Chains A and B, each alone.
Chain A
Amino acid sequence: MLIKIMDERLESGQRSGESGERGSETREAQGPAAHASRASHPASRLGRQVARYTSMYAALWKNSVTREMTFKTNFLLWILVELLWFALQLSFIGVLYLQTDHIGTWTKWQVVLLVGASHFIQQLFQAFFLLNCTNLSELVRSGKLDFLLLLPVNSRFVVSFRQVDLGAYVNAASAAGVMVYAARQLHLVPSPMQTLGFLVLSVAGIAIHYSLMFLLASISFWTVRAQGIVWGYYNLFNIARLPDEAFHGLFKALFTFAIPMLLVSNVPARLLADKLSSPKPVLLLLLMSVVCFCVSEWGWRVSLRRYTSASA
């Protein structure tokens, strides 16, 4: 069923892809002068590329807004679903802290801050990438990927950014609200540097979620029904919101150095809660985000070579 909805969303996404293409054609036709300057100044060429991709993303945004507004009730109901699940996670923490007053050195409101941070990062990941990652296997199965590969843009860009999940922004805001509340309970007043650092680390966290999920989605080039695998990643979100001190040994090593789930939201939350004893985890998170991105780029390229298209 979920797949079905995504398929419907995909249909309209297709149209947005086409409009993106038209946009780039008009830009292409700006005349030989533009071409000449592009060839001569690499810096201005980069600027032009950035502008081009930004305007393309704006078009995709516009398309998503239009699409969501055609099913307003459904849009609102999905936000409600996410809020409910978020509340559920928080009540679980509430129940745990009925039985104890600390998990490792984490106190109740610190864990609430952590759950908030985790939800914030997860929702922003969802806003940008989730639908696109889960759609990839469907694109491969139906052969619709053909149309995206033919567009004169970076294929990974268009595959990764086609759809924007607007409801997720609302949910990210609710997560931010919970974090602010938890911070007040903890009498924390984060400095501007801390807030900025938190945002940078959040971006690194989103990059890790995105890279890993995209890598998993690329498996659909090998086995057509990869939804189970992509679904499986959802289970990993559950780890990201738990305090890192609960884990030891192999499990901790695996989810720090191979699949860095224990870094994604723990490190940003620790930064806000003044729980960092050394800058090492911060550097590790940043490093892992770069590594994950590079691995997923490699995986994408290898996988794409296997693409044979389904029917014509």
Chain B
Amino acid sequence: MVVFFGEEGKIAGVGCVRKYWHVVNIGMQSNLTYRFNFLARTVFGLIPLIAILSVWRTIYGGKNPGSKVGTYTLAEMISYYLLITLVDALTAVNEDDWQIAADIKDGNISQFLLKPIDYLCYRLCLFFSGRLTYVAVAAAPLAIFILCLRRYFVLPPDWAAFGWFVVSIVLTAMLQFFSSFAMAMLAFWVLEVSTFIFILFAFEYIASGHLFPLDILPHGLQQALYYTPFPYQLYFPVSIYMGKARPADLVHGLMLQVFWVLAAYALARFAWNRGIKRYSAVGG
């Protein structure tokens, strides 16, 4: 009996993996149709990056040679922006939030309520496949760009830092996804979610370190920011790579990052459960 149940469970588990693997597969295929879009986005995205690097170079050029901005040398500053671009390519939600909101608005989620598929897992698979495809397309232009600037590209202080960098990237991706999912759940309550998404994105853009390294800010502001989820959406893994996080900060930061991932996950699940109760399947 026990064996029987065990087998059953195993089969169910394998079936589950296979089911969602299928979703990943389909996701990659549909994402590949937008490969030109992805490529255009990456290449165009490099233009403002070059511009911002030029501005920093001019700022450093106006100072005494060898001087620093915050704790950053020019090479570190350039590396910072390259790493931000890299981590962003690996973890940013593309159009997932808008697609989820559209699924809710158009009644497309009805089919998932009838099938033995968990919508959150389904979207997570699609997000994963989306990132895989995006990185595959963006890899070439990004690699060329980084190669061109290789003499400014600093390496992590040691392998441990690199390892934690990778762990933190995975957490960053999950945080990005769960918070976008939770945000998209607003579609159960309001008709038009894009303004809300853009408002949140504006805060995320400045407070996650997209525009500048957060540790050049005044100390108090910096400390306050570390208690919001934003730095863990981009800045934190980069600071680990660059060795800017001391060991104590590293453990503390990783714990906070895990906390925010769990919080975002809980919020996403909670909002989904509440939303489903309100859901009226318009047009579905």
Tell me the A residues contacting B by CB distance below 8 Å. 1-2, 4-5, 71, 74, 77-78, 80-81, 84-85, 88, 91-92, 95-96, 98-100, 102-104, 223, 225, 227-229, 231-233, 235-236, 238-239, 242-243, 245-248, 251
Residue in contact with A80 in the complex, picked from B45, B195, B217, CB distance below 8 Å? B195
Residues of A within 8 A of B43 (CB): 232
* Complex-state Cα separation, A111 to B194, whole angstroms: 31
List residues of chain A with CB within 8 A of the CB of B197: 1
Say whether, besides A92-B211, A246-B54, A103 and B34 are in contact (CB < 8 Å): no
Q: How far is the CB of B38 from chain A (nearest CB, A)?
A: 8
Do A229 and B194 form a contact, CB below 8 Å, given A99-B69, A235-B45, A247-B54? no
Whole-angstrom distance between the Cβ of A139 and the nearest chain B Cβ = 18
Interchain CB contact under 8 A, A231 and B36: no
Chain A contact residues, majority secondary structure: helix
B212: interface (CB < 8 Å): yes
Closest A-B pairs by Cβ, 8 of them: A232-B44, A1-B98, A228-B37, A77-B195, A238-B48, A228-B40, A246-B58, A246-B55
Q: Tell me if B202 and A81 are in contact (CB < 8 A).
A: yes
Asked if B40 contacts A232 (CB within 8 A), the reply is: yes
Verify B59–A99 contact, CB threshold 8 A.
yes
Q: Among B48, B57, B217, find the residue whose CB has the most chain A CB atoms closer than 10 A.
A: B48
B50 touches A251 (CB 8 A): yes
Q: How far is the CB of B5 from chain A (nearest CB, A)?
A: 45
Distance in angstroms from A134 CB to nearest chain B CB is 14
Which B residues form the contact surface with A (CB < 8 A)?
Answer: 34, 36-38, 40-41, 43-45, 47-48, 50-52, 54-55, 57-59, 62-63, 69-70, 95, 98-99, 101-102, 192-199, 202, 205-206, 211-212, 216-218
CB distance from B89 to the nearest CB of A (A): 15
Give Cα distance in the complex from A238 to B46, angstroms. Answer: 11
Q: Nearest chain-B residue to A1 (Cβ)?
A: B98
Give the chain B neighbours of A98 by CB distance below 8 A. Answer: 216-218
B51: which A residues are within 8 A, CB to CB? Answer: 238-239, 242, 246-247, 251
- Chain B residues contacting A235 (CB-CB under 8 Å) are 44-45, 47-48
Tell me the interface secondary structure of chain B in the complex: helix
**Contact between B206 and A92, CB atoms less than 8 A apart:** yes
Output the least CB separation between B30 and chain A (Å).
Answer: 13
Contact of A228 among B34, B70, B193 (CB under 8 A): B34
Question: Once the chains are docked, how many angstroms separate the CA of A233 from the CA of B44?
Answer: 8
Name 12 extra pairs, CB < 8 A, besides A99-B216, A228-B41, A232-B43: A71-B192, A81-B198, A81-B199, A84-B199, A85-B198, A88-B205, A95-B212, A99-B59, A103-B59, A225-B36, A232-B40, A242-B51
Q: How far is the CA of A227 from the CA of B211 in the complex (A)?
A: 25
On whether the beta carbons of A242 and B34 are closer than 8 Å, the reply is no
- Chain B residue nearest to A4 (CB atoms) is B102
Q: Are B199 and A80 in touch, CB under 8 angstroms?
A: yes
